[in-house]
Amino acid sequence: MRRTEIRLRFEEAYDGYEARRLTQEEAAMLLGVGSKTLAQLYLFASDRHSRESGNPDVLKIF
């Protein structure tokens, strides 16, 4: 899976979860990770630096 595809999937899952269209489990399934891993990714994405840039840079984890 390419980085851009990972980014797009994460953004889709993140936005869906934030808008309450997806549960945490559904978002985790979309990304192919467990719900605990997804929670860690969300914490990273909501970091002040990521929020200020306007684009969560979750790819540093991958």
Confidence at residue 8, expressed as pLDDT on a 0 to 100 scale: 84
pTM exceeding 0.95: no
First to last CA, the chain: 11
pLDDT 10s digits, 11-58: 888 888 889 999 989 988 988 889 898 888 878 777 654 555 655 555
- The tokens describing 55, both together, are 């684009």
* DSSP string across the chain: --HHHHHHHHHHHHHHHHTTSS-HHHHHHHHTS-HHHHHHHHHHHTSHHHHHHTS--GGGT-
pLDDT at position 21, please? 93
Q: What is the reported pLDDT for 58?
A: 55
Write down the residue that tokens 């991958």 correspond to.
Answer: 62
